[in-house]
Amino acid sequence: MSQHFFREIENLKKKLLTLGAVVEERIAKALAAVVKHDMKLALEVVEGDTEIDLMEVDVEEDCLKLLALYQPVAIDLRFVVAVLKINTDLERMADHAVNIARRAEYLATYPNAELPAELEIMLQKAQTMVRDSLDAFVRQDPMLARRVCTADREVDQLNRQMHVLIQQQIRADPERVEQFIHQLSVSRQLERVADLATNIAEDVVYTVEGEIIRHRTAVYS
């Protein structure tokens, strides 16, 4: 491959990392809006979604140009394919951040309502998974990527616990059912964010090792 190709690859990597940083920031703001009952912060996340959509399209166009012009092979091909997939996953993460922010707008009208402990733990774990999946991509670190995949099980379990807890709370205090449903919606969105972080981690393993580990839970151990 020519030096021009490798410069294009570096430029592509920078664009994806910029998108990743913006998405990570939006997720952090959405989660902070939930914890702090901050409607203003929630609105910032909702209003910033168009910017991320434009960035996602830009990265996708660059990937397609690279594939068409240089027809890369082996690890270079795996890298471009992984960037295409990660790009989509980041945009979807941003959409979930918007959904969380919309739930935060409603929950902000109940400033004295406490969040379930399970939900607070999920907030922390999902945010860590997003950060670690992007770090694994930057460092091309398959071991860190596998740890992200393992952490997804914990988030799934917490989401199941939230379902049970919300059912109990609705039965105990039916007048607050709408508030409880919004908390459950946040839990579901966090579970999906964690799944997308896992997708990114799996793509890191694929890029570095050429191994597809989807559906192979044993490799996460």
> For residue 102, how many other CB atoms are within 10 A of its CB?
20
Q: For the chain, list the domains and their CATH numbers.
A: 3-220 (1.20.58.220)
Report the chain's terminal Cα–Cα distance, integer Å: 37
Predicted TM-score of the model (pTM): 0.93
- Predicted confidence band of residue 42 (pLDDT cuts 50, 70, 90): very high
Report the alpha-carbon distance of residue 100 to residue 172 in Å, rounded. Answer: 25
pLDDT at 1: 62
Q: How do residues 70-110 score in pLDDT, each as one tens digit?
A: 999 998 999 999 999 999 999 999 999 999 999 999 999 98
Q: Which two tokens stand for residue 97?
A: 């951040």
Secondary structure (DSSP) of 22-63: HHHHHHHHHHHHHHHT-HHHHHHHHHTHHHHHHHHHHHHHHH
Distance CA 145, CA 140 (A): 9
DSSP state of 213: -
pLDDT band of residue 35 (cuts 50, 70, 90) is very high
Instruction: Say how far apart CA 198 and CA 70 lie, in whole Å.
Output: 29
- The mean pLDDT value of the chain amounts to 94
User: Could you tell me the two tokens for 1?
Assistant: 């491959």
Is residue 220's pLDDT more than 60?
A: no
Residue 68 has pLDDT above 90, yes or no: yes
User: DSSP string covering 52-107, please?
Assistant: HHHHHHHHHHHHHHHHHHH---HHHHHHHHHHHHHHHHHHHHHHHHHHHHHHHHHH
User: Backbone phi, then psi, for 146, in 5-degree steps?
Assistant: -65, -30
| Residue 106 half-sphere exposure toward CB, CA atoms < 13 A | 16
pLDDT of residue 215 exceeding 90, the answer is no
Whole-number pLDDT of residue 153: 95
